[in-house]
Chain A
Amino acid sequence: MIRAVIVINDQGKPRLVKFYDYQPVEKQQEIIRNVYGVLCSRAENVSNFVQDSTFGPDTRLVYKTFATLFFIVIFDDSENELAILDLMQVFVETLDKCFGNVCELDIVFNFNKVHTILDEIILGGQVVEMSSSEVVKALDDITRLQKNPNSIVRVPKSISGWQGR
């Protein structure tokens, strides 16, 4: 199962932190610091995988860099590294569809929405959706109902505006 999804920027600031088993705040910070330390020491053009002992002997960590952000997934041996790598791609593509040319600032300011997106993809540590268009559709539903709980007519509106006034 997936143990954690973390997004940090290249200065080690957390941008999104989601642990699938509860971790106390201090432990979370420690993990983030350790992960950041490990990622900083990685050379370029090496694999995206790191053996990681945060959650026991068999956990691995997969990371991927997008512009200024590290996307990190920590998981155990019931997942496949390459597939997780693509999962991150799906996540970012979905973010991109929702925000339109997503950048770090979008994630900082809208992390609640980012969480919603993540919850559609990973639930309880298991991957439940791999199609970014399906996730966008689900988000669309949520947005519409949040804005207008009784609406039956589908409002043709851009998704990214769902939170704005």
Chain B
Amino acid sequence: MGSQGGFGQSKEFLDLVKSIGEARSKSEEDRIVLHEIETLKRRINEPDIPKRKMKEYIIRLVYIEMLGHDASFGYIHAVKMTHDDSLLLKRTGYLAVTLFLNEDHDLIILIVNTIQKDLKSDNFLVVCAALNACCKLINEETIPAVIQQVVELLGHQKEAVRKKAVMALHSFHQRSSSSVNHLISNFRKKLSDNDPGVMGATLCPLYDLIVIDVNPYKDLVASFVNILKQVAERRLPKTYDYHQTPAPFIQIKLLKIMALLGSGDKKSSEQMYTVIGDIMRKSDTASNIGNAILFECICCISSIQPSPKLLETAADAIAKFLKSDSHNLKYMGIDALGRLIRINPDIAEQHQLAVIDCLEDPDDTLKRKTFELLYKMTKSSNVEVIVDRMIDYMISINDSHYKTETASRCVELAEQFAPSNHWFIQTMNKVFQHAGDLVNPKVAHNLMRLIAEGFGEDDDAADSQLRSSAVESYLKIVDDPKLPSAFLQVICWVLGEYGTADGKYSASYISGKLCDVAEAHSSDDIIRAYAVTALMKVYCFEKAAGRKTSLLPECQSLLEELSASHSSDLQQRAYEFRAILDLDANAVENIMPLDASCEDIEIDKSLPFLDNYVHKSLEQGAEPYIPENERSGTLNISNIINRNPYEHPAHSLRFEAYEVPKPVVPTKLTPAVTYPTDLVPVPEPSYQPTLSSGPISDAGSGSGSGSTELRLRLDGVQKKWGKPAYSSAAASSTSTIDSQRTTDNGATQSDNVTSKSREPRQPHVEVSEEKQKLAASLFGGRTARPERKQSGSAAGHSKVSRTTNHVEDKAQPTTVATAVQPPPPDLLDLGESSGAVSSYSSSVDPFKQLEGLLDLSQDGHAVTTTSTGPDLMSLYSGASTNGQNQNQNQNLNPLINEKDNMNGAPNPSNRTASLTKGPSLKDALDKDALVRQMGVNPTSQNPNLFSDLLG
């Protein structure tokens, strides 16, 4: 039937589509399209084009623009077409303009008039077309032109018009809430529209409004609950059903709205409990849409005031999601779990293995979602495992956006929960090594500060231990040529500051490394600046300590090179260093005090100690100082003086180098600047005299503090690495040890705890040992473990016994013949254990060992042995991984049977459609024939062009 109408387009268009389809390269395609554009440009401007022809041109224009080419030359014709009386042409025109134009385009003004006219049309389809256009094309300025009519259309007799009018008003509200604020009450009114479709549409704007402010809509809670109840009870006409689910989008929107309204509001929440419970009970977990609603219920439950009963139902639903075979449902399960653990953190524990499965899943989306979940449930007890995993994942991905996010999450978790400073340094090293250029530069400065200040406690031993472990680890990796710049800066700073502090490494060794860094990164001025300042510090500390100091030859040559550098900053640093070389130890110690970065320096920006001097000078007739940025480019001084200095601050000179050169290095740098001004030609000496005229030490500390101001203003800075994290370190470190030892630990534990009946299942335990280990370290302390295991094995047994008995019943009358047949799905457990038997080799007979517990006859045994044929093995091998998890989960999950059901019925809604109608070969052939008749051969490249989408 589809073919007899043809494709409704001319041969030219078909040819265009075909030739583009056959284009072998992008450039060939571009050539064809450019040719088409030329043709259209010529033709579209010809006089007296028949309207039908024009319509086709416009469609071709839309097509061209969809392929990414500019079709703006034809926009005006699309606009003209909206004026046409014929509905077909008008709709084509509207379609084209909504695709071509944005709401701020100049041509819009030409359409507004047409829209106004069309909104008044008798023909409701014209009105609908105009309302469609309104949603896309009306901007803040043009809203007043149409708003009156749109509001009137809210009362139109056709529900399709009312629905579209609501949506148009909604889009106006999105564009400019101020211009429709007085009309918001209309949305409330339309909530009680006779037509459920209109009511459903009204929920969209109401949802947006409630997101902005909940309070004005609290009175609607009862109405929303009532509507949802009616929908769930199937009071709506059948036409709103989708796969036997009544009006799913309305239900979902309502649940979202209720989640917002019930959040932190006990009274409202209590009204919702019943209806949510009802919906969850009734929901059809076999269909996609049923699960969508179920998921929305969970979101709602986790957002409103918690109800223990509903939480329990939600937890059950999550269990089903996580155990499903469908990745989509697993994803939703992880998402839902992430929401629910905010209320009840314990819930994650029962799903630990499912979560770990998701973490190892090949599906990247699922993995990311799982990492998000882990991020939410990180505690000091599991931070090591989680951050390690996150870093591994971060290294493996390429998407820089997500890499950045993961890196900053790692940093955040490490700062918050670090169990030991060694671990912290190692973790930060890894993050910086792999994503150093992606993380926020602040993180680098934070790290330096943490190393300098330690835990913020007065534990000097721990602090110096932290520093030396940092120095040690940095020396190990500093030769890596691929280190990111931000990380090298940290390394240089730390080596300069603390490299020689513990006496483990000699000054010349550290200096050599720093010279290497400067050498290897000769194009990066910032790193070189950090390196040379670090060298200076190392030298100063040595000298101040009274040790014999000599400059390494490579250091000497580096200084020479930098003295001639194009960067004035580097040059300055080099000269400062040289100046220091000539000073005696006492002076050096004053300039470069040890550990100076930790000193709290009071800063008085107004430099009051100079006031006297300034006064005196002014009295003697000196010109008052004009701040740099007040001085305009003009050199006419009198001009400047006459001007109000606060009026027009114009930039003429850049002073960034003095204000904030690099947040860290300058501490040591500035004293050197002030001291040797007379000796060394420092760049921009012009305003130096003011400082140098004061007493040296004063000026030194004053300006030094000025330059460090950015870094050292510590008040108000959040100390994330404070006591709580530290105090928890002890607990977590024991758990680390625990997890490290788990291989034997787990084994002994199970030996102790489990009875002999557990032994046959031993192989599975071993297979998933690693997972269990991971689970244990992720989800909690060991105290809970033995208990769980015990109950787990008990549960496992009852299960095994049940299923085996079941087999026995069947097997006895019909003997082996039935047993060889592939077992029905609910025998999964038995199959899995028999698979294990064979892998265990025949030396141990598991069923013998079970005899005490199970009433298993010889027949049952026969069944298993016969069934260990190769094909059965292969059949089980697929199931066995599942089965294992199942076994592990049994204890945690009383709903095991549901899981089987879920496995058995994968997502039918997706398939129903394709099952109900197969591809019709005849139709495809008809279409093919038609296209050939029209002279278009289907492209050889894409023979599937005719394949039935639903087939």
Q: Contact residues of A with B, CB < 8 Å?
A: 1, 9-11, 13-14, 16-18, 20, 22, 25-26, 28-29, 42-43, 45-51, 53, 66-69, 78, 80-83, 85-87, 89-90, 92-93, 95-96, 99-106, 108-113, 115-116, 119, 123-124, 126-131, 133-134, 138, 141-142, 145-147, 149, 158, 160-165
Contact = CB atoms under 8 A, between A and B. Distances in A.
Most buried by B among A13, A25, A82: A82
21 contacts: A20-B136, A47-B366, A49-B331, A67-B944, A67-B948, A82-B332, A93-B950, A101-B924, A101-B951, A104-B942, A105-B927, A109-B7, A124-B170, A128-B163, A128-B164, A129-B197, A130-B249, A141-B125, A142-B87, A146-B86, A164-B7
Interface in B230-268: 239-243, 247-249, 252, 256
B331 A47 contact: yes
B14 A109 contact: yes
B942 A9 contact: yes
Interface string B914-938: 0001011001100100010000001
Interface string B716-753: 00000000000000000000000000000000000000
Interface in B147-198: 160, 163-164, 167-168, 170-171, 174, 197
Nearest to A66: B949
Contacts of A158: 1, 4-5
Contact of A100 (B1, B170, B204): B1
Given A104-B949, A112-B95, A86 B242 contact: yes
Nearest to B29: A13
Given A22-B136, A126-B167, A163-B8, 8 more contacts: A29-B68, A78-B208, A82-B291, A101-B923, A116-B91, A124-B135, A128-B167, A164-B6
Nearest to B103: A22
Contacts of B70: 25
B6 A68 contact: no
A14 B67 contact: yes
A71 B20 CA distance: 21
A68 B942 contact: yes
A4 to B, nearest CB: 12
Interface string B74-88: 000000000000111
Nearest to B26: A12
Interface of B: 1-9, 13-14, 17, 20-21, 59, 62-63, 65-70, 86-88, 91-92, 95, 99, 101-103, 123, 125, 132, 135-136, 160, 163-164, 167-168, 170-171, 174, 197, 200-201, 204, 207-208, 211, 239-243, 247-249, 252, 256, 288-289, 291-293, 295-296, 326-328, 330-332, 361-366, 368-369, 401-402, 909-910, 913, 917, 919-920, 923-924, 927, 931, 938, 941-942, 944-951
Nearest to A23: B102
Contacts of B919: 101
A47 B363 contact: yes
B910 A83 contact: no
Given A83-B289, A146-B91, A17 B66 contact: yes
Contacts of B402: 51, 53
A37 B270 CA distance: 47
A89 to B, nearest CB: 6
Contacts of A66: 949-950
A81 B820 CA distance: 43
A147 B89 CA distance: 11
Contacts of B208: 78
Contacts of B293: 83
A98 to B, nearest CB: 8
Contact of A96 (B239, B361, B950): B950
A105 B87 CA distance: 25
Nearest to B242: A130
B949 A49 contact: no
B951 A67 contact: yes
A89 B240 CA distance: 15
A164 B242 contact: no
A104 B944 contact: yes
Given A25-B70, A47-B365, A68-B942, A95 B949 contact: yes
Nearest to B160: A138
Contact of A131 (B17, B68, B239, B366): B239
A143 B734 CA distance: 74
A47 B62 contact: no
A108 B201 contact: no
A81 B180 CA distance: 31
B242 A104 contact: no
Contact of A82 (B167, B289, B361): B289
A75 B209 CA distance: 18
A52 B373 CA distance: 17
B84 to A, nearest CB: 12
